[in-house]
């Protein structure tokens, strides 16, 4: 197989392919670490709401963040952030 089909198949550049083909032990792909940016700066607000009412629902937290702080974060990232503090539900 030539270099171009390998590039397309594995989504890497030509230099990466050449290094991998001619190296006795090719290096592993780099892992990219990305921070979740939807709730950046809001964790202390979430923690305060949970401290005030430990039984608060995720939907209520999300609604308060939207109303009081003008966030446009989707409902999805609020759940894991609140469960990290509260713990898993008893359902």
Residue 22 lies in a domain: yes
Query: Which of 52, 40, 35 lies closest to 60, judged by CA?
Result: 52
Question: What confidence tens digit (pLDDT) does each residue in 54-64 have?
Answer: 888 888 888 88
58 domain-assigned: yes
- If one counts the domains in the chain, the total is 2
Could you tell me the pTM of the whole model? 0.46
| Domain carrying residue 23 | 1-31
The reply to whether 37 falls in a domain is no
Which has more confidence, 39 or 54?
54
Decide if 79 is inside a domain. yes
Residues 25 and 49 in one domain: no
Distance CA 40, CA 43 (A): 7
- Does any domain span residue 10? yes
Task: For residue 38, tell me if it sits in a domain.
Answer: no
């Amino acid at each position: 197989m030539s270099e171009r089909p390998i590039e397309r198949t594995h989504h890497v550049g030509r230099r990466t392919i050449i290094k991998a083909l001619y190296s006795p032990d090719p290096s592993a792909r780099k892992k990219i670490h990305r921070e979740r940016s939807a709730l950046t700066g809001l964790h202390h607000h979430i923690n305060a709401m949970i401290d005030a009412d430990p039984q608060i629902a995720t939907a209520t937290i999300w609604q308060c963040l939207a109303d009081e702080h003008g966030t446009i974060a989707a409902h999805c990232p609020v759940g894991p952030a609140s469960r990290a503090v509260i713990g898993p539900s008893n359902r």
